[in-house]
Amino acid sequence: MKVAVTGSTGMIGPELVRVLRADGHDVLRLVRRTPRTADEHRWEPAHRRLPPGLLDDVDAVVNLAGVGVADKRWTAKHKQQVLASRVDSTTTVSHGLADAVAAQPGRERVLLSASAVGWYGDTGDALVDETVPAGEDFLARVCAEWEAATGPAAGAGVRVATLRTGLVLGRGGLLGRLLPLFRLGLGGKLGSGQQYVPWISLRDEVDAIRFLLTAPVSGPVNLTGPKPVTNAAFTQALATAVHRPAVLTVPRPALQLALGEFARVGVLSGQRAVPRVLEAAGFTFGDTTVEAALRSALPRP
């Protein structure tokens, strides 16, 4: 297959590109800067522009682009960047694929477009599958607009799956920020610790995307491990993995003071999300527990 990937420099993108190429696929990367290699092609998602005809001979697009949600404090400006970067990038590739269908009809195409479990809002301890409607907080609204931006591709007959990803456990990302603290024995649960963490290992995230390139699946797909855990359980699993205690608690007021709105929406809330669609389609997880996922993610001594 010929596969275009956006967001190829993030946490998931580099490993996905590596694995797709190892599988024998032809991968092109969409970048916002001047291309440095033959496989890179410049696009301007903020202006919703793609090079004419770029996607005409592409079989699939994996759209992972978007400003980091937790990179900065949630000012009005940053929240707008979080939303616009996702809607603009998705709208751009969606229209590009629709144009490609018009240019070369009869060819099967697929759009795998990132989303997040934030779609559901805070769902407490209720099990959450892909049939649950969107929540009402900021991240839920972002995810709703993000997924809706795939409409032009779906309307043109492209198979579209939206990837509602949980906390990806791999080198870097949130785990990379937590490791130094936990190795110093300064790790601890956040707030009550009862909020659920829908995790997935990086290798299962990549394998699920590979699987969905050809599996006949459309619509929302939870990319989460089969056994979500509470923040308290995740904290204990990470502390055990690095052979350190984790007896501290970061109280809710301190988190809200430090992180503002993001504390309530992104840290103190959670989703007990399960991958019903993925498992029903026949996907097999390599890491079925958070302990296994952490072993897969942590550097070996």
Per-residue model confidence as pLDDT tens digits over 195-210: 999 999 999 999 999 9
Distances (CA, A) of 34 to 23, 30, 39, 42, 43: 27, 10, 12, 6, 9
The CATH code of the domain that includes 140 is 3.40.50.720
Distance CA 269, CA 123 (A): 8
Distance CA 103, CA 98 (A): 9
Count of the separate structural domains present in the chain: 1
User: Both ends of the chain: CA-CA distance in Å?
Assistant: 37
Single pTM value for the model: 0.96
Q: Which two tokens stand for residue 16?
A: 């996905």
Per-residue model confidence as pLDDT tens digits over 7-44: 999 999 999 999 999 999 999 999 999 999 999 999 99
Q: How many CB atoms lie within 10 A of CB 233?
A: 18
Per-residue model confidence as pLDDT tens digits over 184-195: 999 999 999 999
Q: Are strands 188-190 and 219-223 parallel, antiparallel or unpaired?
A: unpaired
pLDDT (0 to 100) of residue 299 = 74
Domain that holds residue 173: 2-297
Going by pLDDT thresholds of 50, 70 and 90, the confidence category of residue 258 is confident
Answer whether residue 112 shows pLDDT above 90: yes
Distance CA 120, CA 142 (A): 11
Per-residue model confidence as pLDDT tens digits over 2-15: 999 999 999 999 99
Planar angle of CA 256, 262, 263, nearest 5 degrees: 35
pLDDT (0 to 100) of residue 301 = 60
Q: Categorise residue 198: left if φ over 0, alpha if ψ from -120 to 50, beta otherwise.
A: beta
Going by pLDDT thresholds of 50, 70 and 90, the confidence category of residue 293 is very high
* Of the listed ranges 72-76, 122-126, 296-300, the one predicted with least confidence: 296-300
